Structure 1
């Protein structure tokens, strides 16, 4: 298995910067390799005995000069030198106490690997490859690094090749380890939550011990995102604190573990978690771990968010410049009761408001009258479309709207025709009852025949009908997970196979149907990570669209992910966790902060509400290019009296500010008549900035020091401000 992004591996010891074939190295600075991103440097050195690689420096350009902040004498008490080293990646045999990245079990049950350095291939502008070999097992390990052009992201992964004669079982197989020097512990920030409350920005301090997050649900899950930020607690309260970040590119089981290490470092390990507890690596096989994206910013958490945004714009490639159209989705209005007449009524209203895309959600296919049936039988229900499905689609498109459908291709209903024909296609444990979740089972997408069925089904829909948009949903985790008759469970790797099948289908959609926009969803935000974001156009961060609840979700989401990926709807949903009411304007400005959609029952809206909606949609269309492609800065937080996002046009004069009142219900300021203010950042202090709606002029210094004034009232609790630099 090779990583398609890296191509074939270079030969050990070849190329510039190649190391010795084996044996100790006299000078630990002699074998040192440097990689440079746009603004950062990452230096790796070899341990003097050639037994492992260590981090030498990571930070702004220039950090790599002078003595390493991670330097040490390699003398330790009651632990091994490897246990105290800032090792880049190391096996259990060499690091037995403080946390290793690789655990290999031999057929006799022995767990332990000892390797030595055998070669390096280094291009300081693009990549590094360090190779180690265990002579006893024949295991060859390559630590791979790649700079992402135009960003401050370094990708890391590991390639494990069994060059011996016996099958090895990999019980731990992390992608990489990241070392961060700290003075007295680390401020860790993760994104935590639950269904309908995803992406909550959650800080905690780790001075001693271990912190771990992850998922064994077959997807990243609602509880945690595979993302972590690390700061020194001594600096963490500063807005410009140096900040390190990692994000794992993997749509299956995963973990991130941070250890407060001896000697003043925090070491973070990340990787996938095998469902079976271990992965069998047979003689001659190579396993490539998921990529770990590593990032640094000297501008705090907010600066780190912009690093991730630039990286995700890189992942989008040419599709970044595809206009993300204003969407209307009919689920909130009709649920499972999909009837052509009602759908067309909604489509006409949506088109009048300025929507550009109409999506029919769950309930459009045969047997789907509720949650109990239909999944797997992906044919339009003739009862729902008595005039024919294609005629219905033509009528929607005749309104000037693109057309989209909701699908859940990994799921199957027990009452479906598909399940009756292929009961062996679902995950199950032989001789044990199935465990339905949401009255459905999960297809074993690791099977090639199941992948082929899903691909053929989607091809049939997209080739046979004028469909421009596909919303891919997944509403249940894979439990239980088994494949009867496929061999011993210890020889399977079901989680990785499902992930590979999922990505194969998405890759097929990209190649075969490049015009189709793909939205990723898993009960909301349960499967959002870089592998999915590289293959979809937008994702759905949460099923919760209530205004203040959604604001907290989006605030956390934008710390890790770019605005052009964030689908957000205007609905009439009441608050779940924060029930305070907010205006229609608040809901629209909130949805405008990413990719605008509408999900309310438009038939129930008054003429005044529809006119206001048309106004906000028109405003959004004028600035969505800035929102999707500009530099975003997060202003305040949902817990403060005001919160906002600032978007600066790349190479252009416009700054767009989406702002919300999050304070008292009556909107009253502490001092009557005094407006609330949001301090902007990153402007030219001497330049003039004009509010294009009111004509008010400001200096950049005023907007950054005093702030943008916002006169909140009970009826005016949100604003979309456009400032033009003069």
Structure 2
């Protein structure tokens, strides 16, 4: 994001400082003793007009007032018992920061900077806020500067904390899973105690996403329920911790987890924490999802207007057995379906007959492409499709030429054995020479061949994460160094190859957060493409992320967690909820299946504008017998509803002969809506109250309705 323009100006000495977003306010003040920033109000416009719901008399028993306060950012020392956001010390001395407030500045457009200093320790702290125009998101981060003559040891350095008033308990909604089962929407009521999710895998990981929604558990999850959310912008190690604290509030803090356990900050150096995006909606979790979608559309910038083309990926059809002849056969079939982009996945480079070799030697295999890679790509483009390629730039195979030349480039601990994951090692992308190798490799591929799409994968976490001979571990900050290298390469792709579409992937959805989403065009939420499994994955994904970022394929994969069969139509409608792709071995499809697929692809092309840019509402859940996703243009002129029968396999409704119904939301009750396919008309009030009917049968388990406002 671009910082707000305009020079900093002095702000009121003690607050309140009020930040305005499109529909909300975020108000910060100093504590009565002037020692810490506290939340005064967060909610719809006007929420700051009156006593704070977090207001309290300041008297405590057996804890300090700072331990019970709704602190926005506070160090250990000043907050000794209930969880601090910053723990710092001089090496060998006692831990703790006791700072003083030194000033506040604001910038035009909604930015705030509060500064504090601990002269004895030699530390300056800036607590920073910035609104995102056109959204209800406030971005927060912290800057830590060593001002003394001795280095500092930072054991904890979170990005920020939020405080949410609740009655008896807080409802926490988070995204859980594992490989092939990412983004499962999960709830927990926290009345007292501590809750934490985290990743130390060098990426956000498959088990949890760096995202959390908070509500008062006494209220329903949906409807007119105040809902608060956070998302950490960091593709490395992270944590989110929630404490149900004394006094009727839950306090959530989030930030990095350094691989080394602590970091050293040298005199004169400044550490800037990752951005913590904070969002609010008065319309429940579904409303919060729309806030995040608008934020991610803004992250995309001008690239949001780029058409996300229907792709075909060859992996599930050919695996590692890649040859020009087979790939062109697939390409001809894909072109006949209306596919716009053909992507060759793993196996296109030498030594890649299975997963034991080849990674790092990124040049086309002459045996697989005997007439040359240029001629092969030209053959694909002659069919009217763009061409794309899979690559795993951070990985190396022990049997590769690259590893033979540069064994020192991988993460390793001197004298210790290396762990192979997927028969590969991980390059230390924090090294300048490794970054240069990756940049040169991508520049050569994209400069030599007519490639317009790049799928960036990462299929293993770092294990023996060390860099022998480079100095003390706490001084290296290997996690941040890898993140900087990763983001540097993505930024280079944007600036030097702006016409190339980039897809992000890490064994499925292992690295999806705002820093990656700001630098890629789409991401791959999961390697699981089974129909009902995928529907559940996408349901959770859409609570946190926008449809235009969600790559989804139609395949023939059987269910892993829910094996009930579903139709080809079900698979297509599921994939059409985001960015449509096809990954099945379409050579084996019957002519009838290919004709049906061509019809769905043509229909998707008519709808993708409203799917990618419209306001999204989630209708029911995959656990219901019928669920759907509603997309609406900003002006409400067109509504697209994707619906699925997730109940009995025979499609039988609860009452025989009665269709299932999905109540739509956000429509004008007085308007009339015409079904573009059947020609039938409904009033907005009818669709809101009675719902849109879907008559499921064994042969009809998914459908699309397009409604145009008259």
> TM-score when scaled to structure 1?
0.97
Give the stretch that moved more between structures: 473-482 or 69-78: 69-78
The residue that corresponds to 2:50 in the other structure is: 66
| Structure 2 CA distance for aligned equivalents of residues 694 and 292 of structure 1 | 47
Alignment partner of 2:119 out of 102, 112, 135: 135
Partner-residue secondary structure (3-state), 2:322: coil
Distance change >3 Å, CA 9–CA 690, structure 1 → 2: closer
Give 1:240 shift.
2.4
Distance change >3 Å, CA 501–CA 8, structure 1 → 2: farther
The residue that corresponds to 1:347 in the other structure is: 331
The residue that corresponds to 1:27 in the other structure is: none
The residue that corresponds to 1:51 in the other structure is: 35
Preserved contact between residue 519 and residue 537 of structure 1 (Cα < 8 Å): yes
The residue that corresponds to 1:121 in the other structure is: 105
Partner-residue secondary structure (3-state), 1:577: coil
| Structure 2 CA distance for aligned equivalents of residues 584 and 575 of structure 1 | 14
| Structure 1 CA distance for aligned equivalents of residues 574 and 93 of structure 2 | 56
Alignment partner of 1:17 out of 11, 22, 46: 11
The residue that corresponds to 1:320 in the other structure is: 304
Residue deviations 1:351-393, cap 9 Å, x none?
0100000000000001111000000000100000011110000
| Structure 1 CA distance for aligned equivalents of residues 38 and 101 of structure 2 | 12
The residue that corresponds to 1:40 in the other structure is: 24
The residue that corresponds to 1:144 in the other structure is: 128
The residue that corresponds to 1:24 in the other structure is: none
Give 1:239 shift.
2.6
Give the stretch that moved more between structures: 241-250 or 647-656: 647-656
Residue deviations 1:132-166, cap 9 Å, x none?
00011120000000000000000000000001111
Alignment partner of 2:267 out of 273, 280, 283: 283
Residue deviations 1:230-271, cap 9 Å, x none?
000111345321100000000000000000011001000000
Partner-residue secondary structure (3-state), 2:628: strand
Matched, 1:404 2:388: yes
| Structure 1 CA distance for aligned equivalents of residues 294 and 6 of structure 2 | 28
Counterparts in 2 of 1:652-667, with a 5 A limit? 653-667=637-651
Counterparts in 2 of 1:318-717, with a 5 A limit? 318-651=302-635, 653-717=637-701
Partner-residue secondary structure (3-state), 1:224: coil
Residue deviations 1:526-554, cap 9 Å, x none?
00000000000000000000000000000
Distance change >3 Å, CA 119–CA 644, structure 1 → 2: same
Distance change >3 Å, CA 9–CA 195, structure 1 → 2: farther
Matched, 1:268 2:260: no
Show structure 1 runs of 5+ residues with no match.
20-29
Q: CA RMSD in A?
A: 1.2
Give 1:670 shift.
1.4
| Structure 2 CA distance for aligned equivalents of residues 663 and 360 of structure 1 | 36
Alignment partner of 2:159 out of 175, 178, 188: 175
Partner-residue secondary structure (3-state), 2:210: strand
| Structure 2 CA distance for aligned equivalents of residues 31 and 350 of structure 1 | 61
Residue deviations 1:35-63, cap 9 Å, x none?
00000001001012221000000000000
Preserved contact between residue 6 and residue 108 of structure 2 (Cα < 8 Å): no
Preserved contact between residue 88 and residue 97 of structure 2 (Cα < 8 Å): yes
Preserved contact between residue 221 and residue 284 of structure 2 (Cα < 8 Å): no
| Structure 1 CA distance for aligned equivalents of residues 320 and 311 of structure 2 | 19
| Structure 2 CA distance for aligned equivalents of residues 253 and 6 of structure 1 | 25
Residue deviations 1:614-649, cap 9 Å, x none?
000000000100000000000000000111000001
Residue deviations 1:304-355, cap 9 Å, x none?
0000000000000000000000000000000000010010000001001000
| Structure 1 CA distance for aligned equivalents of residues 367 and 283 of structure 2 | 57
| Structure 1 CA distance for aligned equivalents of residues 5 and 101 of structure 2 | 20
Would you identify which runs of 4 or more consecutive aligned residues in structure 1 move more than 4 Å?
7-10
| Structure 2 CA distance for aligned equivalents of residues 367 and 647 of structure 1 | 46
Give 1:9 shift.
12
| Structure 1 CA distance for aligned equivalents of residues 15 and 668 of structure 2 | 44
Residue deviations 1:546-581, cap 9 Å, x none?
000000000000000000000000000000000000
| Structure 1 CA distance for aligned equivalents of residues 332 and 15 of structure 2 | 68
Give 1:432 shift.
0.5
Residue deviations 1:95-114, cap 9 Å, x none?
11000000002122310100
| Structure 2 CA distance for aligned equivalents of residues 162 and 719 of structure 1 | 60
| Structure 1 CA distance for aligned equivalents of residues 616 and 288 of structure 2 | 11
Preserved contact between residue 90 and residue 152 of structure 2 (Cα < 8 Å): yes
The residue that corresponds to 1:292 in the other structure is: 276
Give 1:125 shift.
3.4
Alignment partner of 1:203 out of 179, 187, 190: 187
| Structure 2 CA distance for aligned equivalents of residues 88 and 45 of structure 1 | 9
| Structure 2 CA distance for aligned equivalents of residues 299 and 32 of structure 1 | 26
Residue deviations 1:397-456, cap 9 Å, x none?
000000000000000000000000000000000010111100000000000110010000
| Structure 1 CA distance for aligned equivalents of residues 6 and 92 of structure 2 | 31
Preserved contact between residue 4 and residue 108 of structure 2 (Cα < 8 Å): no
Partner-residue secondary structure (3-state), 2:168: coil
Preserved contact between residue 35 and residue 124 of structure 1 (Cα < 8 Å): no
Partner-residue secondary structure (3-state), 2:33: coil
Preserved contact between residue 34 and residue 124 of structure 1 (Cα < 8 Å): no
Distance change >3 Å, CA 71–CA 39, structure 1 → 2: same
Partner-residue secondary structure (3-state), 1:225: coil
Preserved contact between residue 16 and residue 123 of structure 1 (Cα < 8 Å): no
Preserved contact between residue 222 and residue 285 of structure 2 (Cα < 8 Å): no
| Structure 2 CA distance for aligned equivalents of residues 236 and 512 of structure 1 | 48
Give the stretch that moved more between structures: 45-54 or 222-231: 45-54
Give 1:490 shift.
2.1
The residue that corresponds to 1:307 in the other structure is: 291
Preserved contact between residue 157 and residue 176 of structure 1 (Cα < 8 Å): yes
| Structure 2 CA distance for aligned equivalents of residues 8 and 108 of structure 1 | 43
